Amino acid sequence: MTITAKATPGSQLLTPKDHALILIDYQSQMSFATHSIDAITLRNNAGLISRAAASFKVPAILTTVAEKSFSGPMFHEITDAFQGQALLDRTSMNTWEDEAVIKQVNAIGKKRLVLGGLWTSVCIVGPTLSAIEQGFEVYVVADACGDVSAEAHNRAMDRMVQAGARPMTSLQYLLELQRDWARTETYESTTGIAKIYGGSYGLGLIYAKTMFHAQGG
């Protein structure tokens, strides 16, 4: 049997219009006990996916738990990217059990969801397993999540993947939305985000642009 290749993207790749981003409990109190990832990297990666979603106009849901009474404010790296957007504060550990959040999910109307937040084993596992059971496709940005230990984070990722979740990374999320450097309308924004949040890759872009006036990734 002959297989014919076609220059078309795979259906499992994300596009800016086919999903919603849900950012969960990126708050001070939750980060204090997070040890699977350092706070600087966590905040950077949360900022990266937030800026990526805002740049590509991906609908986002920002939710906190006990913001005023216990957990504190959401990271400014996220709220700065979505200025003026209301935060949905909850009492439930499982975001999927909050009616206000579900109302937003239904209003947005996307079958695909991308999740990131704290902690992986509680606040990400809960909505991921719940959404998958209800027929949603869920992607989890693994390096924008954290937990009380590396073991807790890794076992939570294993559990979600076994249930059908698709793991990815923060830089992967940004570049998957761009996917073609010929898309000039988002080129400057994408490379600009990468220069700030993209670590060594971002430094490479700055170097190439400065030294060789290079284009592309």
User: Percent of the chain, pLDDT > 90?
Assistant: 90
DSSP bridge pairs for 63: 24, 88
Average pLDDT of 66-85? 91
Lowest mean pLDDT among 59-68, 94-103, 106-115, 136-145: 59-68
What distance, in Å, lies between the first and last C-alpha atoms of the chain?
36
The crossing angle, in degrees rounded to 10, of helices 125-133 and 150-163 is 0
Round to whole Å and give the CA distance between 80 and 93.
24
Closest CA to 98 of 140, 146, 63: 63
**Whole-model pTM?**
0.94
- State yes or no: pLDDT of 69 exceeds 80: no
Q: Provide the CATH number for the domain formed by 19-176 in this structure.
A: 3.40.50.850
Residue 216 has a pLDDT of 55
Q: Where are the domains of the chain?
A: 19-176, 180-212
The pLDDT confidence band at residue 191, using thresholds 50, 70 and 90, is very high
The pLDDT confidence band at residue 59, using thresholds 50, 70 and 90, is very high
Average pLDDT of 8-25? 97
Provide the mean pLDDT of the chain: 95
The pLDDT confidence band at residue 211, using thresholds 50, 70 and 90, is confident
Contacts of 128-133 with C-beta under 8 Å, sequence gap 24+, read 128/160, 128/163, 128/165, 129/159, 129/160, 129/163, 130/94, 130/96, 130/97, 131/96, 132/163, 132/164, 132/165
User: 7 by DSSP, 3-state: which?
Assistant: coil
- State yes or no: pLDDT of 141 exceeds 80: yes
- State yes or no: pLDDT of 217 exceeds 60: no
For every residue of 21-65, DSSP letters joined together read EEEE--BHHHHHT--SS-HHHHHHHHHHHHHHHHHTT--EEEEEE
Average pLDDT of 30-35? 96
Residue 150 has a pLDDT of 98
Task: State residue 210 phi and psi, 5-degree precision.
Answer: -75, -45
Average pLDDT of 38-47? 98
**Residues annotated as catalytic (active site), given as ranges:** 123
Residue 49 has a pLDDT of 98
